[in-house]
């Protein structure tokens, strides 16, 4: 295998991880906004979907290319929602 081909494959794998991270991070932000909206309106909400995506992100981060994210609690959502009304 040529050095060029090996480098191309390595970069391709990294790009795939970064692309997946970006999609998951966007999905996580969407779920956070949903939970905040429900909380501000006094409706029931949960951090479950947020944390499912967070777990996937944190698995990707073990490869050292993308950052990890913190898990979110309902209390964190309530606190942020009360500060940003």
pLDDT tens readout for residues 19-70:
999 999 999 999 999 999 999 999 999 999 999 999 999 999 999 899 999 9
| R_g of the chain, CA atoms, integer Å | 17
The residue range of the domain holding 35 is 3-83
Please, what is the angle between helix 74-83 and helix 3-40, to 10°? 70
What's the predicted TM-score (pTM) here?
A: 0.86
Please, what is the angle between helix 3-40 and helix 48-61, to 10°? 160
Query: Could you tell me the pLDDT band of residue 9, with boundaries at 50, 70 and 90?
Result: confident
**Does the pLDDT of residue 4 top 90, yes or no?**
no
Q: Residue 41 contacts by C-beta under 8 Å, 6 or more apart in sequence? A: none
Tracing tokens 């909380």 back to the chain, one arrives at: 39
Please measure the distance between the N-terminal and C-terminal CA atoms of the chain and give it in whole angstroms: 58
Cα torsion for 68, 56, 73, 31, to the nearest 10°? 110
Domain count, the chain: 1
The reported pLDDT for the residue numbered 1 is 60
């Amino acid at each position: 295998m040529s050095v060029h081909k090996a480098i191309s494959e390595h970069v391709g794998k990294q790009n795939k991880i970064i692309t997946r991270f970006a999609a998951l991070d966007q999905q996580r932000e969407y779920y956070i906004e949903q939970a905040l909206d429900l909380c501000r309106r006094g409706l029931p909400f949960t951090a479950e979907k947020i944390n499912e995506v967070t777990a996937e992100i944190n698995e990707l981060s073990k490869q050292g290319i993308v950052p990890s994210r913190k898990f979110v609690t309902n209390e964190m959502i309530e606190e942020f929602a009360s500060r940003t009304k």
